Every structure is written in structure tokens, then in C-alpha cells.
Structure 1
Amino acid sequence: MKINVKETTVVRPAKDTPGGSLWLSEIDLFFPNIHNNTVHFFKAAMDTHPLSRDDITRILKQSLSEVLVHFYPGAGRLGKDENGRAQIECNAKGVTFVVAEADCTLDEMLDIGESGPVSKFRPLIQPVDYSQDISSFPLILVKVTYFKCGGMCLAMTQHRWAADGSSAVQFFNSWATTAPGQPIDEPIHDRRWISDQALPSPKFEHPEYDTNAIFGHGNPNPAPVDISTAYLRMSTQHINALKDKANANANANAENADAHDQKFSAYESLAAHLWRCACKARGHPDDQKTSLVFPVNARPRLCPPVPIEFYGNAIQMSAPSAFSGELLKEPLSSTAGRIKKTITEKDNEYIRSGIGYLRDNKVIDGFSGRSSFRNPNLGVVSWSQMPMYAMDFGWGPPVYTGPASIRSEGKIYVLSAPTKEEGLALYVCLEASHMELFKKFVYDI
């Protein structure tokens, strides 16, 4: 497969936008200085008047320019204040926009099999040069690749400090809504709203933000290992079977009073199953401590709730821990109960305490530089509830959308399919020596 770049331009907001510096919250700066990459594949329009590539490129550029008027921080650059703290400079320097052509069809590109799209999708992403100062690179980069069949891939690269998953999808879908001239919900950009929620002093210990708690379960300087990726499809029947098993066990487990009569969600049931599968596939001894690391959406949990239009990072990390032997000996309901308890604890007071903890301990810019998901831990990030398939510029929704790659061993994305009937998909990255056993255990209910 070859991809030839035809054009590289800069798209700026269509109108003048507010200037100045945008404060980044403690939650923003908790994450590393990286961009997240997603890919969105579209089939060729099949109506009687299909759009040409030039028409599609023009529509994408024009609507991007218009939506950047509203999402103007995305057209800026990173900078630092007088204390060296990172912030966004709203200078309208623009978004990199690349047009390319591939010598294969859309179906050939999407024929990813079980191994996943790690190497196959990489050429679709516009790389970012981090070798210079943080002010040197765009916060958003777009690469449009056209296939021989008329289909296309829209690859989005967005800086982690600019947006979490919910905000990234908000931007994608607002861009698509702008293309046919429809109004969008105005995004909210004030990040100090998050910082101002911090308690004067932390009330809880916050192991999810404690380097020793997260990384202290294994070798602090592990030797490099071969990693492998897998793309596993989970049918609706499989997911329902896991939920039934978790909830049936919960009701039958008289020793766990908290679990009695509670209903576990699809995520809680699946994440519990995956955590146990990883422990078993990795061959952990019973006394090996392990954490399940995952984000919780803080928007509806803070008081007052964060508006859904908020554009930034508004998530609370979670990291319940247990000994591997405990997980493998207890019923699925008990493991799901650990996850549910941790999620339930992430209320207004806990999240506000967490922001205070990040502030007081200066846990910003680089905590995640070492992956918190690596063996013996596991990260399960769910995008299944996000409206990833609502992006329609006028030629239909995407036929596939998801992360372009996984950087970290021990990380799993839970992805939705275009229709609910197709179930879910798991995009998994583990040590190569553990992958085959993990795949076996995943389907063993």
C-alpha cells in the first residue's frame, strides 16, 4: 500500500476569534504532551450526483474553517505562562490539512483481521514533530486520504490537553453538522471552571493519581517486551451473556451484601471479565497486585454538572486494585462489584478532592509518560457510548471509526459498531506471549 500526499495547507477560522491565553486545568495537564489519533472511514456517495474529490475537499475545508470560529482554541498553539505552566495561545495560527491518495480500496484498507489496524492505519495519520518547543506544532491536524474505489478516510489528530474523548467527538460531529449549514451547540471553553471546583485541600488519598500506587505492583524498569495487538469482535449475545452471568452471581452471592440485587452494566461486566482474563493469560501468582485503570466522565458527577458543551478534559481516573488470586477465585459479580463501587465513589466531593490533589502534588505534564496500563495492570477505555457514528458531512455516516493505534501495552479500547445489532469490538494491546491465551479466555464464559 502506498499513500501519496497531494496537498498540505493550513485552515484558519473563517472569522476573527477571541485572542489571549486559555488556562489549562489540572485535569488537562495530568495527561502527557501527546496527540490522540482517530480514523473515520466513509464509503463513496452512491446517489445520482456523487461528489468529486475536489468537491469533498472543498466542503471539508470550508466547514472546518467555519467550525473553528466556535472551537477557536483548536486553531491555536501551546505556550507557557510566566511560571512555566502550559496554556493554549488563541492565536488562530490554524489547523494542518493534508490531502492524500492511496493505491488501494477502502475494503482492502479495512481488511484488518484479528491483528488490528496498528501498522495498516499509521500512514493515514499526519505525524507530529515534537522535537521543537511546544509552540511549534498545531493542536489539530487533519489528513484526508482518498481510495481507488471512491471511499475516503478522515484521520483526526488532536492534542490531549485540548480535549478528552467526549470533547473530541463533540468537535468531530460539530464539524460535520456545519458542512450542510446546520447550527451547532456553542462550545464552552473556560477551563478555570474545572480548576475552581477543587477543594481547599484533598479529602481522599487518590491512588489513581499516585505514581507509587499505580506503578508499584511490578518492576519499575521492566525490560522491553514484544507486544501484540488484536481486534476482537464481541457479539450482542456475548455481551448479554456476561451481564447475565455477573448479575446472576450477584443475586446468588449471599456473602456480598452490597452486590445483592444490584444490576451491573455492560461495561462493569465486560471490564471485570477482561481484568480476570488478563490476570490469567499473564500467569500472575496469587499475590500479584494489579490495578484496573479507566476514566470516568466527571461532567454529570460534579455539582453543578459540567455542561455537555464543555470543550476540554472533564474526566476522573479510577484504579481499583486487588490481588490476582482474589480476582480469579471470586465470582464475576464480585469483580464487577469492585468496579461498580469505584465508579459510584466518584461523586462530586471525590472529584473535587482529586482536582485539589493534582494541584497540591503538582501531578501534571508527564504522569502518564510511563503507561499505567502495563503488566500487571490493565486499562479498559470504553468509547461505546460516544456518538462516534453520528458524523455525517452529507455523504453518509462512517462505516468504521476508532483509534488509529494503541501506544500502550495493557490497554484495551471498547468500541461500538455502526449498529447495535453488531455488538462491540475490543482493540487490545498485550505482550505477544500473552495474547493467544487472552483471546481464548475472552470467549470462554
Structure 2
Amino acid sequence: MAISDGSDRENGENSIAPALQTEGAAVEVMDTIMVRPKKPTSRHLMYMSGVDQILAAAWPNRTILFYRGQIDSTAVVKRLEHAIASVLVSYYPMAGRLARDENGRLVVDCNDEGVQLIHARCDLSITDLQGKGFAIQPHFRQLVPMDHLQSSDSSDDPLACFQVTAFKDGITLGVAVAHSVADGAATWSFIKAVSQTSRGQPLSIYPLHARYLLKPSVFMPHTVFLSPDAKEEMKAAKGAPYNGCEEPIRVSNANLEVLQQRVIHFSREMLDILKKECLNTISNAKPGDFVSSFQALGAYLWKRLVMAQNLDEETGVDFRVAMDVRNRMIPPLTPGFFGNAVVGVPTPSTAGELVTESLGNTCVRIRRSINQVDDDYIKRALIDRENKDLRKIALSKVQVVTLRNGTGFHVYEAGDFGWGQPEAVRPPVEYREGEITLYPGKEAKSIDVIVALSEATCKNFFSENIYPNDPIQNFPLHLPE
């Protein structure tokens, strides 16, 4: 490939089919560019933590940003090409590829091979999508790269890809990042760095490439564990059992055909009502008790989903959150720590317990699990995951609601590359029932919920009769206006 202006350009037909046919739409790839760092970086093999290794079994992080207006997609691609090339000097691992060391362990080969940038077009209208509340459509999967990957351990693919798709009256920007190299916070810091550079601004945060800080042999000599039996104590606790990270679960994409992809908008008023209901229904509530929007909404969605699934009372139902632990470690990691600094936090229950208890007590159950995530919990999780054999991890047999909380990522600010903030931010698809993504809504302090449901569960979930005494029954669940 010839190199020009820090990038490689090749015919889109060489790597991606020129026309990706989907229901009601055809996304046509016009060009594919491999963008390399503006100047060479130091080549080496970068250590990947135990959490990185576990999340190599997960799907890539994939997000679509929607922009409406007369926007020249060709100029956008050129602008992004230069911005990405500049940012990759600081975020140089993103320009590398995954490899295996002599022990078969994943590492990042920092080799400057580049990030993929795709230019495509679609003969549809952003205005029409906006009128439907940017509800998830089948063709959304073709608006962001890496749709062919069901894991994040490929040595043949770029670690990050951008796709600009021209619509009749706007564009979309799809961003995909291998989960093995970045969690949500790291992914959005990378996106924000590109947007700031695209606007001619300096980076507000520079990345810290120090994954070795999560290596047990590095932190253990300086760590005093609270109790040598802490692991067993956590297992016996009523709150979240010790479980360093969610087990990898692979689901065939063919299963997506039977899932209903739904977007639900929770306004600030709806969230305030849920928080008030939680505070009013907590057993033995104390003065000064606080409930966050995330806790209240999580409790509500968990309860409503389990009600909709009509499960036996004894069926185990877990609520799981991947928690950013950058500020919970001692000493804390900087906000710029680049990698996967997350720990899976499960809240166990049975269907019978969850359905019969108050919303406030469900909220307290979630809060207790989250509050257990201290330095001791985190470092024991890291030790547990460091040399975990993925083949020996038993998949949980309980029903799991997995919540990915993107409400703190300031996605509209990060999504301003110089042609305005996006109208909406969406994942292209949720892969299994009970998989939920939260993003900030366009309206201040609102939240958009994206959830995948089977046909039967979906019908029950949106039934007005599924949740007796629903605190927000006067606000029928609906798509964003």
C-alpha cells in the first residue's frame, strides 16, 4: 500500500463488500483508508491485563452518532483522517494489532499499522430516523464497522475503525473499538481526543498507557488486604458475591432475528419520580439517604424485565454492571488510564424476591453491591483474572440483566467534531435478551435506554398491566420525541 499524509488508501472492495444489503436499505462503501500515526511511534509489545484478556471474548464496543444537516461527507472524511493521524501519536496502541507472546497470552503489538476509516453512503433520511426516535433499525449494523466480529481477539483486524456514512440530509459516524484494548471510558476518551483535534483544540486528557498497574506482581507488594479471608467473606455476603468480571458469553448473530430492539426515553421528570419512589419505599430508610438516577432506573428496569419474563419464583436473576474502578483503587488511577479498568459487579436475587420486594429495596440491593467495590475487592478480582483459563470459566445458568452505563461519558460534547453535536447516540444492536445500554438523552438529565427483548417478553414488558402500582404509569414507555 502507498502511504500518503499519514494514511493508506485502498479500494473498499478489497476489504468490505461494496454494497451491504439490509432490510429497507443498502449501505454502499465508497472508500477505505488505513490511517497511521502522523509520525512513527516506538514499536514494542504492550502487556494486557487479566481484564483485557477476559474481555477479548466480548464483542467490540460499537457506537453510532447521528448528525442532521447539509454536511459534506467527503470533507468530513478528510478532516477525520488528519485528526486521527494526529491523535494516534498519543494513542499509539490503537494503531497496533493484537498478537500472542511466547506463552500464548494476548499483547498489543504497537506497530503503527493504523486505524481504519471508511466512507460510505445510504439513500435514507436522518430526518426520518429522527421522527422515529432513532429507533434501532436492521441497517444500523452496517453503519459501524466490525459487524463481522463476535470477539475482540482478532490479530487480523484493526483495533479501531471509523465509518462516515452520507445520508440524504446528514451523516452518521460509526466508531468501533476492540473491547480487549479499551473499556467504555477509554473508548470515549479516544473519541473525544479525535473530536477535539478535529476542532483544532488541545486534548483535555492525555492517555496513560500503563496497563502494568493492573498486574498483580506490580501492585501486590504495595497492597495490604483488609482480610486474608476477604474472598470467602464476600462470597457469603448478602450483597454481591466476589466475581472479578462477567463471564464471556458468545451468542450467534443469527439469534438477533428473534429479538426486538427497543429504545425507551426516560425524561428527567420520570427519573425524579423513580428516585422519589425508591426513597419512599426503602425499608428502614435513614435521613440523608440518596438514590442516583442510575440506581433507580436500574432497579426499575430489572424488576420490570423479570416481571415480563414470567420466570419461576426460584429462578436466579442477576443484575450485572461493569464498573469503572479508576477512582476506587488505592492509589487511584488517573482518568486518562487507557485500557480496561472495569470490574463486573453482580447483584443476585431470585425472581420471586425481586417481584415481591419494593422498588426502594431493589435499589438498596444494587447499591450495596456497588458499595462493596473497594480496593480490596478490585485487586482480588485482578488477581483472580490474571491467569484465568477462559476454557474453564463456567457460564452462569441464572438469568442475567447486563447494564452498560454510558450516561457519564458526555457523548454529545465528545461527538462534536466541528459540524455540531449529534442528534442521538445509539449502539447498532443489542445481542441478547436483557442486554441494556444507557446513554444520555438529548434533553438535559434524561436517559435513553436501549434494550433487546424476545417477542413474548417485549409484549409483556410494554403492557400497562405488567407492573402493578408502577410509579411512572402516567408516562407510558415510549420512544424519544
Shared fold (TM-score, shorter chain, > 0.5): yes
Given the alignment of the two structures, is residue 187 of structure 1 paired with residue 207 of structure 2, yes or no? Answer: yes
Matches within 5 A, 1:65-76: 65-76=85-96
Rounded to whole Å, the distance in 2 between the matches of 1:36 and 1:208 is 25
Aligned in 2, Cα 1:384/1:88: closer, same or farther, shift over 3 Å? same
Offset at residue 327 of structure 1 (A): 1.5
Is the CA contact (8 Å cut-off) linking 2:87 and 2:193 kept in structure 1? yes
Q: What secondary structure is seen at the aligned counterpart in 1 of 2:175?
A: strand
Which of 162, 166, 184 is the matching residue for 1:165? 184
Given the alignment of the two structures, is residue 244 of structure 1 paired with residue 276 of structure 2, yes or no? Answer: yes
Offset at residue 52 of structure 1 (A): 3.6
Gaps of 5+ in 2: 1-24, 236-240, 249-254, 472-481
Deviations 1:7-62 (A, max 9, x none): 112110001112101110011112115322110112236xxxxx643322211111
Rounded to whole Å, the distance in 2 between the matches of 1:141 and 1:384 is 23
- Equivalent residue number for residue 37 of structure 2: 13
Offset at residue 71 of structure 1 (A): 0.6
- Equivalent residue number for residue 104 of structure 2: 84
Rounded to whole Å, the distance in 2 between the matches of 1:26 and 1:397 is 36
Offset at residue 129 of structure 1 (A): 5.3
Moved more, 286-295 or 75-84: 286-295
TM-score w.r.t. the length of structure 2 is 0.81
Rounded to whole Å, the distance in 2 between the matches of 1:182 and 1:366 is 47
Deviations 1:303-361 (A, max 9, x none): 1111001111111111111121111221111111110000000011110111111125x
Moved more, 380-389 or 79-88: 380-389
Matches within 5 A, 1:120-131: 120-127=139-146
Rounded to whole Å, the distance in 2 between the matches of 1:431 and 1:148 is 33
Deviations 1:167-197 (A, max 9, x none): 1100001001011322112211110111233
Is the CA contact (8 Å cut-off) linking 1:163 and 1:312 kept in structure 2? yes
Which of 73, 76, 80 is the matching residue for 1:60? 80
Offset at residue 203 of structure 1 (A): 3.6
Aligned length: 420
Is the CA contact (8 Å cut-off) linking 1:40 and 1:155 kept in structure 2? yes
Rounded to whole Å, the distance in 1 between the matches of 2:389 and 2:230 is 16
Rounded to whole Å, the distance in 2 between the matches of 1:160 and 1:338 is 28
Given the alignment of the two structures, is residue 230 of structure 1 paired with residue 252 of structure 2, yes or no? Answer: no
Which of 405, 412, 421 is the matching residue for 1:389? 412
Deviations 1:373-406 (A, max 9, x none): x972211221112111112221111111121211
Q: What secondary structure is seen at the aligned counterpart in 2 of 1:120?
A: helix
Gaps of 5+ in 1: 46-50, 216-223
Aligned in 2, Cα 1:248/1:131: closer, same or farther, shift over 3 Å? closer
Offset at residue 102 of structure 1 (A): 1.4
Is the CA contact (8 Å cut-off) linking 1:214 and 1:291 kept in structure 2? no
Rounded to whole Å, the distance in 2 between the matches of 1:239 and 1:322 is 24
Given the alignment of the two structures, is residue 328 of structure 1 paired with residue 355 of structure 2, yes or no? Answer: yes
Rounded to whole Å, the distance in 2 between the matches of 1:194 and 1:131 is 26
Letter in 1 for 2:368: K
Rounded to whole Å, the distance in 1 between the matches of 2:266 and 2:197 is 34
Matches within 5 A, 1:129-168: 134-149=154-169, 151-168=170-187
Matches within 5 A, 1:201-350: 203-205=230-232, 207=241, 209=243, 226-250=258-282, 253-254=283-284, 261-350=288-377
Is the CA contact (8 Å cut-off) linking 1:202 and 1:354 kept in structure 2? no
Given the alignment of the two structures, is residue 96 of structure 1 paired with residue 116 of structure 2, yes or no? Answer: yes
Given the alignment of the two structures, is residue 404 of structure 1 paired with residue 425 of structure 2, yes or no? Answer: no
Offset at residue 249 of structure 1 (A): 1.5
Which of 435, 443, 462 is the matching residue for 1:419? 443
Aligned in 2, Cα 1:111/1:81: closer, same or farther, shift over 3 Å? farther
Offset at residue 161 of structure 1 (A): 0.8
CA RMSD between the two structures: 2.9
Letter in 2 for 1:234: F
Which of 60, 66, 76 is the matching residue for 1:41? 66
Deviations 1:142-164 (A, max 9, x none): 11101122x11110111001110
Rounded to whole Å, the distance in 2 between the matches of 1:112 and 1:419 is 16
Deviations 1:191-223 (A, max 9, x none): 011123357988415646389x989xxxxxxxx
Rounded to whole Å, the distance in 1 between the matches of 2:231 and 2:44 is 35
Is the CA contact (8 Å cut-off) linking 1:289 and 1:323 kept in structure 2? yes
Given the alignment of the two structures, is residue 3 of structure 1 paired with residue 31 of structure 2, yes or no? Answer: no
Offset at residue 281 of structure 1 (A): 0.8
Aligned in 2, Cα 1:375/1:44: closer, same or farther, shift over 3 Å? farther
Q: What secondary structure is seen at the aligned counterpart in 2 of 1:420?
A: coil
Is the CA contact (8 Å cut-off) linking 1:30 and 1:366 kept in structure 2? no
- Higher relative CO (CA 8 A, sep ≥ 6), structure 1 or 2? 1
Aligned in 2, Cα 1:171/1:434: closer, same or farther, shift over 3 Å? same
Rounded to whole Å, the distance in 1 between the matches of 2:441 and 2:278 is 23
Is the CA contact (8 Å cut-off) linking 2:295 and 2:363 kept in structure 1? yes
Rounded to whole Å, the distance in 2 between the matches of 1:366 and 1:4 is 42
Offset at residue 261 of structure 1 (A): 4.5
- Equivalent residue number for residue 220 of structure 1: none
Is the CA contact (8 Å cut-off) linking 2:318 and 2:398 kept in structure 1? no
- Equivalent residue number for residue 219 of structure 2: 197
Quick one: percent identity of the two aligned structures? 26
Letter in 2 for 1:444: D
TM-score w.r.t. the length of structure 1 is 0.87
